[in-house]
Amino acid sequence: MKDFEEVIMGYLEQDALEEASRCIQCKNPTCIGGCPVGIDIKTFIGWIKKKNYDAAYATIREKNNFPSICGRVCPAEYQCRKACVFTKKGEPFASHESININFLERFIGDYGAHGGLIATMAGAARLARYKVAVVGSGPAGLCCAGELARSGIQVTVFEGLHKTGGVLRYGIPSFRLPRDVLDFEINLLKKLGVEIQTNFIVGKAQTIEELFADGYSAVFLGLGAGIPSFLGIPGENLCNIYSANEFLTRVNLMSANDFPKHHTPVNIGKHVVVIGGGNTAMDAARVAIRLQHAGGIAPDTTVAYRRTELEMPARRLEIEHAKEEGVTFAMLVKPEEFIGDDTGFVTRLRASRCELGEPDASGRRRPVVVPGSTFTIECDLAVIAVGLGANRILTSVTPQLETDKYGDVTVNPETMETSMKGVFAGGDIVGGEGTVIEAMGMAKKAAAAIIVYLSHL
């Protein structure tokens, strides 16, 4: 909790062998259905049992370009682990008895990275004459780029920021995803021939039409959901109230925790309140605790959430880690107003207590304010982590690109093709905030459709 080094230690070989030995190699391996990219989980665990780690690595990489990343950040308890036979039906999260698939994936991903194993290029020479532009270097863009490059296609990734990775770099802190792990996977793409152009905002530097005019035969949009939502309550514009995006970007991308060695600063609060209940809120709270330690301030960071812990969308593991690191949880709390001093800085949060009512459209029980229950919390720094929306920089200058009421790009769900011919999309810009592996699943589908599209040109 006092630095940004990785928190969760991976398996040693003996741990991996013991865990793999628990997998009963089901005739009908339900775990695979729980993986958005369909990794052959049974087979790769089978290879681990036989200590054939090269084969395990190859099995995973057939379906997943980034095993070291997914092994760390995938919410496996809602995905493959939940579908493992050891999880009993009706349990909201995977049971502890389920096979720890993500740890095994991480073990093999890191083995591949340390052993320098490189996924072979399938290399379809027929397609080598085509160039495809990928916009955005988050997991969707990188995954699509890797799939296309493996088919011999020339790929250029255009990224608006000065570094690649999207949320993997600017959102998820290094204590959950070390930067050397991310850099390894991105360098592997470069070795496959993927070109990366940073500081290039498509829609500002060039339009989609100009990319086609430059000789690109197809375009993939992995624009993400980078625009933060706010609460819309009085006082939200006071100083020291950050969106989680800004707070995390300052630290994760711009190294503000190392100011003034790096140019970007970030303010450190004595009493920090993070509003929200998702992964972003957990990351922001855990970063805030670290900044307090680094600044010699007694840690005081509270996560305020309208419902209870059970309804929190954050991973259980992240909630547990935040608690272990000293984050306080204030449940059933609805922010009403930020109060500031006469210099314009926030000093307190006024909030109401809630109780749970009937389930809403999301299936979670609705928070209902208890009349007359308002109270105030000391708060000299707040981080708002209540959701993200579509990044509209490109769509706003491309009227031919159909979007829905949320600003997300509309696609044919079978091919991920948009309303513009030759333009495909995937990840959070389609269907809103999701997970890394879901973004990759969409990108793989789009890449397959792009290959078919190019084959018919």
Q: Which is nearer to ligand SF4, 41 or 379 (CB)?
A: 41
φ, ψ of residue 310 to 5 degrees: the values are: -60, -35
Residue 29 within binding range of ligand SF4, rule CB under 6 A: yes
Residue 276 within binding range of ligand FAD, rule CB under 6 A: no
Partner that binds at residue 251, options ligand FAD, ligand SF4, none, CB closer than 5 to 8 Å by kind: none
Q: Which two tokens stand for residue 54?
A: 């090269």
Residue 75 within binding range of ligand FAD, rule CB under 6 A: yes
**Minimum CB distance to ligand SF4, residue 94 (Å):** 10
Total Cβ atoms within 10 A of residue 377 = 16
Q: Could you tell me if 165 and 182 are in contact, meaning their C-beta atoms sit under 8 angstroms apart?
A: yes
Q: Which two tokens stand for residue 88?
A: 């009993």
Residue 333 within binding range of ligand SF4, rule CB under 6 A: no
Q: Which of 42, 72, 250, 290 binds ligand SF4 (CB under 6 A)?
A: 42
Residues 418-457 that bind ligand FAD (CB under 6 A): 427-429, 433-437, 439
Residues contacting 319, CB < 8 A, separation 6+? 282, 309, 312, 329
**Which residue, chain included where needed, has tokens 């890449």?**
447
**Minimum CB distance to ligand SF4, residue 83 (Å):** 7
Residue 427 within binding range of ligand SF4, rule CB under 6 A: no
Q: Could you tell me if 346 and 381 are in contact, meaning their C-beta atoms sit under 8 angstroms apart?
A: yes
Q: Which of 23, 281, 282, 385 binds ligand SF4 (CB under 6 A)?
A: 23
Total Cβ atoms within 10 A of residue 259 = 14
Partner that binds at residue 30, options ligand FAD, ligand SF4, none, CB closer than 5 to 8 Å by kind: ligand SF4
Mask for 375-404, x = binds ligand FAD (CB under 6 A): ----------------x-xx----------
Burial 277-315 (b: 16+ CB within 10 A, else e): bbbbbbbbbbbbbbbbbeeeeebbbbbbbbbbeebbbbb
Partner that binds at residue 279, options ligand FAD, ligand SF4, none, CB closer than 5 to 8 Å by kind: ligand FAD
d(CA 197, CA 211): 13
Total Cβ atoms within 10 A of residue 241 = 24
Q: Could you tell me if 155 and 195 are in contact, meaning their C-beta atoms sit under 8 angstroms apart?
A: yes
Residue 201 within binding range of ligand FAD, rule CB under 6 A: yes
φ, ψ of residue 348 to 5 degrees: the values are: -145, 160
**Which residue, chain included where needed, has tokens 């819309």?**
232
Residue 132 within binding range of ligand FAD, rule CB under 6 A: no
**Which residue, chain included where needed, has tokens 């993939």?**
220
Residues 165-194 that bind ligand FAD (CB under 6 A): 166-167, 171-172
Partner that binds at residue 29, options ligand SF4, ligand FAD, none, CB closer than 5 to 8 Å by kind: ligand SF4
Exposed, middle or buried by CB within 10 Å (0-12, 13-18, 19+), for 212?
A: middle
Residues 157-216 that bind ligand SF4 (CB under 6 A): none
Partner that binds at residue 317, options ligand SF4, ligand FAD, none, CB closer than 5 to 8 Å by kind: none
Residues 312-331 that bind ligand FAD (CB under 6 A): none
Q: Taking CA 32 as the corner, what is the angle to CA 28 and CA 38, rounded to the nearest 5 degrees?
A: 140
Residue 241 within binding range of ligand SF4, rule CB under 6 A: no
d(CA 274, CA 71): 27
Residues 228-257 that bind ligand FAD (CB under 6 A): 248
Partner that binds at residue 42, options ligand FAD, ligand SF4, none, CB closer than 5 to 8 Å by kind: ligand SF4
Q: Which is nearer to ligand SF4, 41 or 439 (CB)?
A: 41
Q: Could you tell me if 124 and 152 are in contact, meaning their C-beta atoms sit under 8 angstroms apart?
A: yes
Q: What is the 3-state secondary structure (H, E, C) of 178-219?
A: CHHHHHHHHHHHHHCCCEEECCCCECCCECHHHHHHCCEEEE
d(CA 299, CA 63): 42
Q: Which of 16, 31, 133, 437 binds ligand SF4 (CB under 6 A)?
A: 31
Residue 30 within binding range of ligand SF4, rule CB under 6 A: yes
Residue 106 within binding range of ligand SF4, rule CB under 6 A: no
Cα torsion 432, 318, 171, 241: sign: positive
Residue 226 within binding range of ligand FAD, rule CB under 6 A: yes
**Minimum CB distance to ligand SF4, residue 374 (Å):** 49
Residue 217 within binding range of ligand FAD, rule CB under 6 A: no
Range in contact with ligand SF4 (rule: CB under 6 A) among 82-90, 299-307, 376-384, 444-452: 82-90
Q: Which two tokens stand for residue 439?
A: 């973004």
Cα torsion 450, 451, 453, 457: sign: positive
Number of residues that bind ligand FAD (CB under 6 A): 41
* DSSP symbols for 158-179: E-SSSSS-THHHHTS-TTTS-H
Q: Which residues bind ligand FAD (CB under 6 A)?
A: 73-75, 135-141, 158-161, 166-167, 171-172, 201-203, 222-224, 226, 248, 279-280, 283, 391, 393-394, 427-429, 433-437, 439
Q: Which residues bind ligand SF4 (CB under 6 A)?
A: 23-26, 29-31, 41-42, 45, 84-86, 99, 101
